[in-house]
Amino acid sequence: MKDIYLKVPRLIHCFGNENNIVSIDTVIEMLKSSKNIIVPINTHNIDTVKEWDLLPIGYGNANWSELSTRIDTSNLIPVWNINLQTSADEVIRRTLKATEMGGKKAVKLEVLDSNHKWSENNEVVKATEKLVEQGLEIWPLIAPEKETIDKLLILGCPMIRILGSEIGSGNGISDRAIDALKYIKSKSNVKVMLDGGVGRAEDVYKALIEGFDSVLVNSYLFKEQSPEEELYKIVNVKVRWWKK
């Protein structure tokens, strides 16, 4: 029996999706509830925005420029969020354009299948290899696979994000994901994030018990309560978790 507490920055979250548009007020309330310090800066409209701090935080009109006028952002860490892309070449292009606009921030990247549900690992490795050559810190998202993990460890990624199950599925943490976590920890001190498939607060707690260093949540925050209420519940409720 263990008591689980989430400590910053173990819980990380994004700010909505195409079906859940987030206002600047909601962004602020979510940050207050979660105490999260990592803020993904989306790049889906990077070709129409001229200044990096006008890129959206999540979906909607919220951006870093407005956020910094509303709250103290000195303790927050913006990271490039290269999401919903299906080719390494496009990930590379968007990342280099983002860094040209706003400097060398950590890069949270993914290359997904056409359904945006699962990782194309070979493309992830290709993008990571090119961007590491540019001196960037890369946080790649992958499907649990030892061969891919080995390649990313050689490339020196400080964090690897493992899909618990399909993105947006809410199916929780697969045995494959836990096996991948154990494999990484047996070979290195690289941080491992669970990212994808979280469907309830219990999935977050289970991930931390299993040994994930952090957990990213997004879609499920919008299913029942408001996202700020759900985040508050995750962070502040003391949970007793029995690990069999």
Could you say which of 97, 104, 108, 223 is catalytic? 108
* Catalytic-residue membership of 7: no
Give the Cα separation of 18 and 235 in Å (integer): 25
Are the CB atoms for 183 and 147 separated by under 8 Å? no
- Which residues, listed in sequence order, are joined to residue 39 by a DSSP beta bridge? 78
Can you point out the beta strands (E) in the chain?
A: 2-4, 11-13, 38-42, 77-82, 107-109, 138-142, 159-162, 191-195, 214-217, 239-241
DSSP state of 197: -
Q: Is 81 helix (H, G, I), strand (E, B) or coil?
A: strand
Give the Cα separation of 105 and 128 in Å (integer): 14
Are the CB atoms for 92 and 48 separated by under 8 Å? no
Are the CB atoms for 98 and 82 separated by under 8 Å? yes
Residues 6+ apart with CB under 8 A from 161: 108, 110, 139, 140, 141, 142, 192, 193, 194, 195, 196, 216
Are the CB atoms for 98 and 78 separated by under 8 Å? no
Q: Which residues are catalytic?
A: 108
